[in-house]
Structure 1
Amino acid sequence: MVVPVQNIVETVDLTPQDALLPLYECIVNSIISLMQSNQTQKEIQVKIKRGDDPTQLAFTGIKTIHSIVVTDNGVGFNSENLNSFETPFSKVNKEYGCKGIGRFTILAAFREIYVKSNYIENGTWKYMEFKCDVEKEVQPIVLKDSETKLPKTSIELIDCFNPVIKDRTAISVSDIAHELMNHCLIYYLSGQMPIVKIFDADDKKGEVINDLYAKVSKEKERTFKVGPHSFRAYITKVQKENNRKHHYIYYCANSRVVGQPSSIGKINASFSYPINENGNLYFLDIYLVSDFLNSKNYKVRNGFSIPQEKENGLFNDPDLISFEEIEIELVKLLEKQYQNHVKETSLKSQTDLQNYIDNNAPRFKSLRNNLELLKTIPPNLTDDKKEEHLYRISYQARKEVESKLKEFINNKQINEETIQSIKKSIQDKTSYDVDSLADYMMRRKAIIDLFDKFLEADSEGKYKLEEDIHNLIFPLGFTSDEIGYEMHNLWLLDERFLTYKFIASDKAITSFTQKKSSKEPDVICLSDRPQMFDNPISFGDKSNGELNSMVIFEFKRPGDVAHQKRKSDYRWDFSELILPYFDDFLYSQDKKNYKGKHVIVKKETPKFGFIIIDILPPALEQYNLDSGWEKTPFGTFYKMEAKKNLHLEVMTFSKLLEYAKNRHMPFFDKLFGK
């Protein structure tokens, strides 16, 4: 039964990562040919012929590969090898790991294979030429006796056409050389690697693969078992160059690397850092060989029929193991081999996380000294990833503690033993609650720092827009459906106002309000932009009903001076800015809040009024001091209206900021250090 070449080629499924697989097949075939020869100077030459620019935009200026010529001085295409070439799945070189389908892999990528071979057979030198493609298959061109008495075979792979890999061939000769070095390392380690030279036909630049092996230091050979299967690990190290970041495992079958390497750092985070030896940094390249890998290699030689993870089931095949199990056992071996490195990287990672918590995330302070938990976080992470891992651990730890406390509360059998067992959980919960407080204080610090910036003049001497400070006082903004007035930062004025609720304002500070008269709107009307400045705003311990306390404040626009109420006349009382609004609540009938609900304010209701200004001219200051206002040692002004149980206070934005900073400084010092 004859199987057409085209039918076999159509079953070859190449991926972008297989761009150099046809070249690997040719190189390995040449190595095997040289292993069968008695040549003393064994050599392979590779010529790269470039074609078009890649279809995807690239900035390297490197063209894709059009053709490759591989030349060696091995045994050549004698009758046995030619017959093997023409026979699908030939077993002629099975002892060398050949599966008899390499040429089909080549034809899945290149349109034609052209062979020239000068060889000796039965004491006679012969010369042969033939070509092969998927349609006409093998086509003899020349077969004759040869006058040349030197072995030489060249195989040209012509016209790379496969769009899956073509763009991926646009890589430099240097990069191709490094890939070949990794692919053939087992031949090097076993002393079977011939001299391999590669060069680019366009710019004549080249590399000698053997020179690259000089940079590879063979560390150790180690064996280990996974289930019934034995593995040999060739451990090599290379000095850190360029931007390399990983240690790698290379899976090998039949003396050649198969597929893409795996990062060891994904299995054990300690191997996310290079190994430091006498001040020099190295990365490990580990090559795994095994009869098991040989038996599980795909025929195309671009992967293995091995599951990635261990399968759990009742009827699992004990002989079938996973990559996960292999890598776990390998890493155990590496941890012993490089135990000093593991300790150093673990300590470095913990210190890095502790510094991050100290400087950027005090909300996770309860985790800072829990080294067992910190060890579970991979090293060498970005700040975003550190945050993600710390949050996950914190959430799980909180959840576990709360579950234990709930179980304790629900357990009716409370005795000395159960009390002792719950003490640790109570301590942990206290630590996590402190973390929550730290998180809240960090937010406050950010608000204070922003407030400071917003009050600074820009380079042209102008002040920041009023919306900035408005959004700082009311960070969530206001919507027409549910007005989040409670979500404010009035603690900047006084901690007592932290839980106060919004009642009303003289002007709209949201997208709508009620309008009935100039001071008490009753009809819903739209406002183009929120107004917080020059606009008395009232808050209370509750938003309607009889209030236990009330505060009204007015912010004068940054950049304005207080006397601009009447630009040429400083003879006006601070009280004029805010007292009428208290009187309005005291003496008006049916006073309502922004939702239309009644608000009751009595004379005995504690009332606080705050006026925040930017600039206070001396003349206006003196006028108010002469009018009954008092100045505090801290530079603010106050006035008491005893009959109305009213306290009025005037301060500048800078004083407001100073007070807020001073109140929070002990907390900030404790959290962030002085």
Structure 2
Amino acid sequence: MDAVLSRTHLAHDIHGFLLPTLEAVSNAMHGLEARFGDRAASEGKIDIVFENANDPNKILISITDNGIGLNDENYKSFKTPFSGYKLKSKGRGFGRFIAFKVFSRIHYSSRYEFLTDRQTRTFRFDIYRDDELVFHDGDPDFTHVGLRVEYDSPLTPWHDLIRQIDQSTVSDIIASHFLPYFLYRWLPEITVQFNGGAPESVTTRFKDIFVEYDKGQVEVDIDGSVETIDYSLTRIPKTRSFKNHCLLFAAADRIVGKPRDLTNVLGEPHFTNENNENYIIIAVVRGEAFESRLNDSRTGINISPKAIERIVSAVSDVIQKGENTQIEKIKTSQSTDLNGALQENPILRLGLRGKSIAEYVSAKPNNWTAQQFVADLAIERYRASKDLTKAITTAAASPENYAATIKDIVSKIDQNNKEALAEYVIHRKNVIELVEAARKYTSDAKHHPEEVIHDLIFRRFSDSATHDYFEHNLWLIDDALAFLPYVSSDRTIHGGKRSKGDKVADLALFDDSLVLGDNDGTTVTIVEFKKPSRDDYVFGPEKTDPVTQVVETLEKAVRAGGVTRTDGTHMSFSGVIRRFGYIVADLTPSLVKVLKKHDFLNDQNPKIFFRYRDNEKIFIQAIGYDTLVENAKKRNQAFFTVLLGE
């Protein structure tokens, strides 16, 4: 028995200290039921008395009942650990040994009936002696049939805790430990008395509080076997001892183990009713699966943490359905908070993936704060643009560094709830650095093709029907381009395979005009990318003259009257067409020569050539990659300074 006891661990708290008392009360109930049967609730009585309650050297706790007493059958069972008699009453015959984890002196006294006579037994119980039972000649200090158990001389580790104990806490713990009796069994009159004061009836205090308002069953996978679990729910006022929603496991008609806090699942530690009164929900679960897995000391149930999670989840779902009004209040509050966060960080809307705020919030935990939603949406935003991220890292001269940067960003957002705007500014800064890297020589002393930078700005062979605002980097050219309603990248006007005569622009951007309420016009913008450092341009032919290429491509788009999107729908051009063109290429001598032959000017900015062609009614700008990067840095420098300290 010493070995079994040494493997039994009690929590070093008030509940752990009171566990021997709770075991004595449980045994007393069995004695009451054995004596009175169905009348145990009305005729049974258990008195718990604390003398010198806060003095570790003098404290005495007694538990007295008017049950059947320690008759011959019970006495025989008492001397036999793990007896069949106790098993019939869902016991283990081990509970009385728990007392030696807390006290060094335990005393039993009993009056019981034998035929027509009343007899007594009084002895000290000490498992550390060869003769465990030391009998006394004196009679019990009570005259009725029943049993008294007395504990004193507590072990030193409990002394500090004893100095803090109070009657109200003891009553709360007794009531919660035997909550199953309140909800779905019977309960005798149980009183608690401290230091000679007036006894308090635990039964009377809690019988109108611990009332079952719902019950049912759920099926849960417990360690590979589907088990039926019974649940009972009660609503009680929030108090010092009952502060938050919780789930309790019951076996052998008592609560076993620590409560499982449901605050995180339900979203609030307590709810508030229409009278502005705070209340909590306590769920009690029980079933044969728990009885068969109850440990010998009845301090725990041997099931895996994953099984516990599944039980908590299943019962929490039941609670949430019953508390729908409360859950809706939580979700409404979350939606309001998230909406405010998105107004400050509109970039994160991409993480919603087309869902409304209410739809998104409904699928997330009830206890999430605005910061947690921001962190989640930031990560979702990255997942939504993972294809672009792959293209960027492929284009980088040192892709490992960028991948590490992305991981670092996500980690910081998740751990420190970084503001999403800062995240996007960091993203822009990295993209600018990648463009600069793409302009440099590769390992074989060659320049990257223009496709590398093209993919950085907008993925080739795609359009904005499949790529949202935050999935491209058109802001590198001009922030205004990023907001155009349709972009086609390296695709034919008809949307099919390229055939002879097709004009394919690197980027074609189309905008239904909303200027001054003018809703009958369309803006068309063509962007052509050229290989960095290319210097073999020739005036005239479309293949060697980027100006001719822009004009011809734009004219064909206009003549086509519209463009077919990747999703198969057709976008028509209507009304007056405003035409713009961009040539993005390094301003090498041969390109400058071609531009000047086309009468381009650079008097406003030596690094940008431009011309408005009257006949075609098109305004074209030619801009070098160095200027592209420089201007992008200037437009974003304010953010880099404020958010990154640069």
Same fold per superposition (TM over 0.5): yes
**Amino acid paired to 1:392:** A
- Residue 367 of structure 1: CA displacement? 7.2
Indicate the residue corresponding to 1:34 in structure 2.
Answer: 32
- Residue 397 of structure 1: CA displacement? 2.7
CA distance in 1, matches of 2:259, 2:34: 30
**Amino acid paired to 1:221:** K
Indicate the residue corresponding to 1:15 in structure 2.
Answer: 11
Q: Give the 3 Å change call, closer, same or farther, for CA 367–169 of structure 1 in structure 2.
A: farther
Q: 2:310 aligns with which of 325, 347, 351?
A: 325
Q: Give the 3 Å change call, closer, same or farther, for CA 423–276 of structure 1 in structure 2.
A: same
DSSP-derived class of the 1:299 partner = coil
Indicate the residue corresponding to 1:98 in structure 2.
Answer: 91
2:466 is aligned with 1:421? yes
Indicate the residue corresponding to 1:257 in structure 2.
Answer: 255
Indicate the residue corresponding to 1:174 in structure 2.
Answer: 168
Q: 1:107 aligns with which of 91, 100, 110?
A: 100
Indicate the residue corresponding to 1:347 in structure 2.
Answer: 332
2:323 is aligned with 1:338? yes
Any idea what the Cα deviations from partners look like across 1:262-294, whole Å, max 9, x if unmatched?
Answer: 11233x244544153565432111110100011
DSSP-derived class of the 2:205 partner = helix
Note if contact 1:364-1:390 (Cα within 8 Å) is conserved in structure 2.
Answer: no
Q: Give the 3 Å change call, closer, same or farther, for CA 299–149 of structure 1 in structure 2.
A: same
**Amino acid paired to 1:33:** G
- Residue 399 of structure 1: CA displacement? 2.3
CA distance in 1, matches of 2:391, 2:464: 9
2:110 is aligned with 1:117? yes
- Residue 237 of structure 1: CA displacement? 0.7
Q: Give the 3 Å change call, closer, same or farther, for CA 400–164 of structure 1 in structure 2.
A: farther
**Amino acid paired to 1:233:** Y
CA distance in 1, matches of 2:359, 2:103: 55
CA distance in 2, matches of 1:146, 1:68: 15
Any idea what the Cα deviations from partners look like across 1:5-45, whole Å, max 9, x if unmatched?
Answer: 54443332222142221111011011111011126521000
CA distance in 2, matches of 1:324, 1:101: 29
2:387 is aligned with 1:404? yes
CA distance in 2, matches of 1:417, 1:363: 22
CA distance in 2, matches of 1:230, 1:341: 28
Note if contact 1:367-1:373 (Cα within 8 Å) is conserved in structure 2.
Answer: no
Written as runs of structure 1 = structure 2, the 5 A alignment for 1:241-280 is 241-242=239-240, 245-266=243-264, 268-270=265-267, 272-274=269-271, 276-277=273-274, 279-280=276-277
**Amino acid paired to 1:253:** A
CA distance in 2, matches of 1:232, 1:335: 17
- Residue 242 of structure 1: CA displacement? 5.0
Q: Give the 3 Å change call, closer, same or farther, for CA 273–69 of structure 1 in structure 2.
A: closer
CA distance in 2, matches of 1:65, 1:352: 56
Note if contact 2:246-2:261 (Cα within 8 Å) is conserved in structure 1.
Answer: yes
Indicate the residue corresponding to 1:87 in structure 2.
Answer: 80
- Residue 186 of structure 1: CA displacement? 1.3
Return 5+ residue gaps in structure 2 as ranges: 395-450, 480-637, 639-646
- Residue 143 of structure 1: CA displacement? 6.6
Note if contact 1:64-1:166 (Cα within 8 Å) is conserved in structure 2.
Answer: no
Q: Give the 3 Å change call, closer, same or farther, for CA 157–337 of structure 1 in structure 2.
A: same
CA distance in 2, matches of 1:244, 1:26: 24
**Amino acid paired to 1:37:** R
Any idea what the Cα deviations from partners look like across 1:504-539, whole Å, max 9, x if unmatched?
Answer: xxxxxxxxxxxxxxxxxxxxxxxxxxxxxxxxxxxx
CA distance in 1, matches of 2:196, 2:347: 60
2:285 is aligned with 1:288? yes
Note if contact 1:120-1:126 (Cα within 8 Å) is conserved in structure 2.
Answer: yes
CA distance in 2, matches of 1:308, 1:65: 41
- Residue 118 of structure 1: CA displacement? 1.0
CA distance in 2, matches of 1:427, 1:64: 76
Q: Give the 3 Å change call, closer, same or farther, for CA 154–327 of structure 1 in structure 2.
A: same
CA distance in 2, matches of 1:111, 1:149: 27
Indicate the residue corresponding to 1:553 in structure 2.
Answer: none
CA distance in 2, matches of 1:170, 1:147: 29
- Residue 374 of structure 1: CA displacement? 4.0
- Residue 185 of structure 1: CA displacement? 1.5
Percentage of pairs with the same residue: 19
Return 5+ residue gaps in structure 1 as ranges: 54-62, 310-321, 435-663, 665-674
DSSP-derived class of the 2:211 partner = strand
**Amino acid paired to 2:321:** K
CA distance in 1, matches of 2:257, 2:210: 21
- Residue 141 of structure 1: CA displacement? 2.4
Note if contact 2:388-2:472 (Cα within 8 Å) is conserved in structure 1.
Answer: no
Indicate the residue corresponding to 1:187 in structure 2.
Answer: 181
Note if contact 1:237-1:285 (Cα within 8 Å) is conserved in structure 2.
Answer: yes
Q: 2:154 aligns with which of 153, 160, 178?
A: 160
**Amino acid paired to 2:231:** A
Written as runs of structure 1 = structure 2, the 5 A alignment for 1:372-451 is 372-375=359-362, 378-379=365-366, 386-387=370-371, 389-407=372-390, 419-423=464-468, 425-426=470-471
- Residue 76 of structure 1: CA displacement? 0.6
- Residue 231 of structure 1: CA displacement? 0.9
DSSP-derived class of the 2:212 partner = strand
Q: 1:129 aligns with which of 122, 128, 140?
A: 122
Note if contact 1:20-1:169 (Cα within 8 Å) is conserved in structure 2.
Answer: no
CA distance in 2, matches of 1:175, 1:391: 41
CA distance in 2, matches of 1:427, 1:202: 79
Note if contact 1:405-1:425 (Cα within 8 Å) is conserved in structure 2.
Answer: no
Written as runs of structure 1 = structure 2, the 5 A alignment for 1:50-65 is 50=52
Note if contact 2:228-2:287 (Cα within 8 Å) is conserved in structure 1.
Answer: yes
Deviates more, 1:253-262 or 1:396-405: 396-405
Indicate the residue corresponding to 2:357 in structure 1.
Answer: 370
CA distance in 2, matches of 1:173, 1:429: 71
Q: Give the 3 Å change call, closer, same or farther, for CA 115–148 of structure 1 in structure 2.
A: closer
CA distance in 1, matches of 2:366, 2:105: 49
- Residue 355 of structure 1: CA displacement? 4.6
2:295 is aligned with 1:298? yes
Q: Give the 3 Å change call, closer, same or farther, for CA 156–429 of structure 1 in structure 2.
A: farther
Any idea what the Cα deviations from partners look like across 1:444-469, whole Å, max 9, x if unmatched?
Answer: xxxxxxxxxxxxxxxxxxxxxxxxxx
2:67 is aligned with 1:74? yes
Note if contact 1:19-1:166 (Cα within 8 Å) is conserved in structure 2.
Answer: no
Indicate the residue corresponding to 2:234 in structure 1.
Answer: 236
Q: Give the 3 Å change call, closer, same or farther, for CA 180–429 of structure 1 in structure 2.
A: farther
RMSD over equivalenced CA pairs, Å: 3.8
CA distance in 1, matches of 2:58, 2:370: 43
**Amino acid paired to 2:468:** K
- Residue 243 of structure 1: CA displacement? 8.6
Q: Give the 3 Å change call, closer, same or farther, for CA 138–282 of structure 1 in structure 2.
A: same
CA distance in 1, matches of 2:316, 2:245: 12
Q: Give the 3 Å change call, closer, same or farther, for CA 145–406 of structure 1 in structure 2.
A: closer
Written as runs of structure 1 = structure 2, the 5 A alignment for 1:307-326 is 307-309=304-306, 322-326=307-311
Any idea what the Cα deviations from partners look like across 1:138-170, whole Å, max 9, x if unmatched?
Answer: 334247999997313211012221516862673
Written as runs of structure 1 = structure 2, the 5 A alignment for 1:430-579 is none
CA distance in 1, matches of 2:301, 2:140: 43
Note if contact 1:46-1:69 (Cα within 8 Å) is conserved in structure 2.
Answer: yes
Q: Give the 3 Å change call, closer, same or farther, for CA 395–235 of structure 1 in structure 2.
A: same
Note if contact 2:334-2:370 (Cα within 8 Å) is conserved in structure 1.
Answer: no
**Amino acid paired to 1:26:** A
TM-score by length of 2: 0.55
DSSP-derived class of the 1:197 partner = strand
Alignment size in residue pairs: 403
DSSP-derived class of the 1:98 partner = coil
Q: Give the 3 Å change call, closer, same or farther, for CA 219–105 of structure 1 in structure 2.
A: same
Note if contact 2:70-2:110 (Cα within 8 Å) is conserved in structure 1.
Answer: yes
CA distance in 1, matches of 2:59, 2:140: 30
Any idea what the Cα deviations from partners look like across 1:199-226, whole Å, max 9, x if unmatched?
Answer: 1126556443332221233211111111
